[in-house]
Structure 1
Amino acid sequence: MNTPSPLLSAQGVHVTFPGRHGAPDVRAVDGVDLDVRPGEIVALVGESGCGKTTLARALVGLVEPTAGRIAFDGRPLEYSGRSLKAYRRRVQLVLQDPTGSLNPRHTVYDAVAEGLRIHGHAGDERAAVAGALARAGLRPAERFFLRRPHELSGGQRQRVVIAGALVLEPELLVADEPVASLDASVRGEILALLLRLRAELGLSALVVTHDLGLAWNIADRVAVMYLGRIVETGEVERVLTAPRHPYTRALLSVLPEAPGDPVILAGEPPDPSRIPSGCRFHARCQILAGGEAERAGVAEACRGRDPGILDGSGTAQVACHWASQSGAD
């Protein structure tokens, strides 16, 4: 069976910000390949500060990469105003904080219609707004038209934000922590909505999250990010049931249902202005600290040799000398 061409493709993407007051540059995204295929949901997972939000912003055209290439539907992303406007009609960003995303003075109708007005929609605005609200699960839609954000629950506000993205009939949603600010009871409803939109509309999605449990419930594939790079990727069931990278294992170990004791990572949280030599995880790696890398004969490589950039194809891959040497599974 032929694998469909990616809808969204990042190749060798770097995003670097100048350091303040002479400090080293911040390598927020430090060489990422990532594909999202039509109708696919990919979870981009990692701790705060790993670069996943910066990568998401680059993928929707809000940040121009320092190096590398982003392509959509086979065509390189261009950064002229007209090209970006056309692109953002096809690729929509959904942010984690619906309260911050919505103007408190605007009605729900105006919030959802804003994108149509920016893009010069020529059709029936009222019908388009009502349709988007209904698809987002706010029915009957007309009942919500004149409400303001403070009159809605957190879950309803997130549905309004999603409706504002859907009204432009995009092909891809980039959702940055879409349920992080919601109660547990509402989180499942929003995840079920995203899955329904994929089934009904054929939408693709990149879901940015620190929550591996969320990835398990919604994604086809997962890409685990650490200090500006993807360090493990593959089908979600394979990565989350048989993680190979020590960092993925540590993230999974703290989930409530995980067997054994949680892995407490040593050292300081990552600093993207001071990326270590060798494997960027080696200073915190439980495998290196416990002597297993030494016994496998790869400790020197862990400290001194970069494992390299994983390609974006989504096949099972790991950027780890020990996992590659030992066949860890």
Structure 2
Amino acid sequence: MTPAGVPLLSARGVRVAFPGRRGAPDARAVDGVDLDIGPGEIVALVGESGCGKTTLARALLGLVEPTAGQVSFDGRPLEYSGRALKAYRRRVQLVLQDPSGSLNPRHTVYDAVAEGLRIHRFDGDERATVAGALSRAGLRPPERFFLRHPHELSGGQRQRVVIAGALALEPELLVADEPVASLDASVRGEILALLLRLRDRLGLSALVVTHDLGLAWNIADRVAVMYLGRIVETGPVERVLTAPRHPYTRALLSVLPEATGDPVILTGEPPDPSRVPSGCRFHARCPVLAGGAADRAGVARACRERDPGMPDGSGAAQVACHWAHAREG
């Protein structure tokens, strides 16, 4: 059991770089991230495609060894030996976005849920454990689903089978990568409600990786907004999504269907992670800088030349933005 005040999962200074081709600079997919997830807490990791959020999630799962920095679980640094990782992955389970791709079409539902138990050489009652996992995932009566194959299920039922496979090992943390992206709108709410029930009933923690701030609003206790390999704003979900401080967070929120006012359209594409801009890495696309507000606040030069730093990973509301700090100072 995690001691009081100690995060269940903690990343400190985590960097993941991929070698460039033909002598090009390394691509800094994750570029110095601090992030904590507490027991029973749901954290949403939000950002555009290519911002590094999936690579960070893979590093937290032990699927990618960080180039630098450290991942700790339950107060202990993660080890990368085969035996240590196998034990770790029993406690931390991945839920992928595409249930059709995660499930072997030739396997029955029973075999899909039992697979992890067999890999970890579970010595208890396999049938009862599979039935319990399916029931907790909302597939009842579970025995009715044992001999079905994925093609016989709806998209929502397939995602529940994937979640049941993760639950069978009784993990302490779920890492859910776009868990409802491939589902119809009518089913998304059911899966999000299921994740919240699992947290309330089992005490599960979760990291939900998503591009959708609306999803974060519905499920997360805390949100971390990521841009070009770094977290640029973090804090309690109500604080960040009702009073965003970073221009990037504001732009993401402005295009939600329920947003008021005109959407903020960011110019250009996110920079190449092998050629990260100087200063604030968002400055080339920043509407605050382009519109003159940063200049009026006296921070335009700092935006272009000085790194604004990074949030420290705790639960406090923090932002990496010279303009936001100038406004609040």
After TM superposition, is the score higher than 0.5? Answer: yes
Q: Are positions 1:210 and 2:211 aligned together?
A: yes
Q: Number of aligned pairs?
A: 327
Q: Could you tell me how far apart the structure 2 residues matched to 1:168 and 1:131 are?
A: 11
Partner SS for 2:157: helix
Whole-angstrom CA distance in 1 between matches of 2:73 and 2:209: 19
1:10-21 equivalences in 2 (<5 Å) = 10-21=11-22
Aligned residue in 2 for 1:167? 168
Q: Which sits farther off after the overlay, 248-257 or 3-12? A: 3-12
Query: Counterpart of 1:110?
Result: 111
Say which SS state the counterpart of residue 50 (structure 1) adopts.
coil
CA distance in 1, matches of 2:179, 2:198: 14
* Residues 110, 146 of structure 2: 8 Å contact kept: yes
Residue 256 of structure 1 aligns to a residue whose secondary structure is: coil
C-alpha deviation, 1:4, in angstroms: 2.4
Superposed, 1:184-263 pairs within 5 Å as 184-263=185-264
Q: Assess if the C-alpha contact under 8 Å between 2:310 and 2:319 holds in 1.
A: no
More moved, 5-14 vs 306-315: 306-315
Q: Give the aligned residue type for 1:138.
A: L
Shift of 1:267: 2.3
Letter in 2 for 1:122: D
Deviations 1:165-205 (A, max 9, x none): 00000000000000000000000000000000001000000
Paired residues of 1:94 and 1:165 also in contact (CA < 8 A):
yes
The secondary structure found in structure 2 opposite 1:193 is: helix
Question: Could you report, residue by residue, the CA deviation over 1:208-261 in whole angstroms, capped at 9, with x for unpaired residues?
Answer: 000000000000000000000000000000000000000000000000111110
CA deviation vs aligned residue, 1:296-321 (integer Å, no higher than 9, x gap)? 00000000000112101020100000
Distance 2:195 2:248 in 1: 28
Kindly indicate whether residue 139 of structure 2 is the aligned counterpart of residue 138 of structure 1: yes
Offset at residue 21 of structure 1 (A): 2.5
Q: Partners in 1 of 2:76 and 2:161 — Cα distance?
A: 31
1:327 is displaced (CA, Å) by 1.6
Indicate conservation of the 8 Å contact 1:4/1:38, yes or no: no
Asked whether 1:59 is paired with 2:60, we answer: yes
Aligned AA for 1:161? Answer: V
Instruction: Report the AA paired with residue 148 of structure 1.
Output: H
Contact 2:9 2:71 in 1 (8 A): yes
TM-score (ref. length: structure 2): 0.98
**Structure 1 position 271, deviation (Å):** 1.7
CA contact (8 A) 1:49 1:270 kept: no
Provide the residue aligned with 1:71 in structure 2: 72
% identical equivalent positions: 86
2:37 partner amino acid: V
SS in 1 for 2:194: helix
Distance 1:6 1:303 in 2: 35
- In the alignment, what sits opposite 2:81? 80
* CA distance in 2: counterparts of 1:304 and 1:267, whole angstroms: 20
Q: Are positions 1:179 and 2:180 aligned together?
A: yes
Q: How do 1:246-325 and structure 2 match up within 5 A?
A: 246-325=247-326
1:269 to partner: Cα distance: 2.4
Q: What does the per-residue CA deviation read over 1:102-136, in whole Å, with 9 as the maximum and x for residues that have no partner?
A: 11111110100000000010000000000000000
1:257-290 CA distance string (max 9 Å, x none): 1111000101222321111000000000000000
Equivalents in 2 of 1:20, 1:177: separation in Å? 29
Per the alignment, residue 6 of structure 1 pairs with 7
1:22 offset after TM fit, Å?
Answer: 2.3
Matches of 2:97 and 2:267, distance apart in 1: 29
Query: Structure 2, unaligned stretches of length 5 or more?
Result: none
Cα distance in 1 between the residues matched to 2:33 and 2:145: 41
Distance of 2:28 and 2:166 partners within structure 1: 30
Whether the 8 Å contact between 1:136 and 1:193 is mirrored in structure 2 is: yes
User: Does structure 2 conserve the Cα–Cα contact (< 8 Å) formed by 1:91 and 1:173?
Assistant: yes
Q: Offset of 1:3 from its aligned partner? A: 7.0
Separation of aligned partners in 2, 1:3 and 1:83: 24
Gap runs ≥5 in structure 1: none
Q: Distance in 2 between matches of 1:250 and 1:268?
A: 14
Instruction: Describe the SS at the equivalent of 1:194.
Output: helix
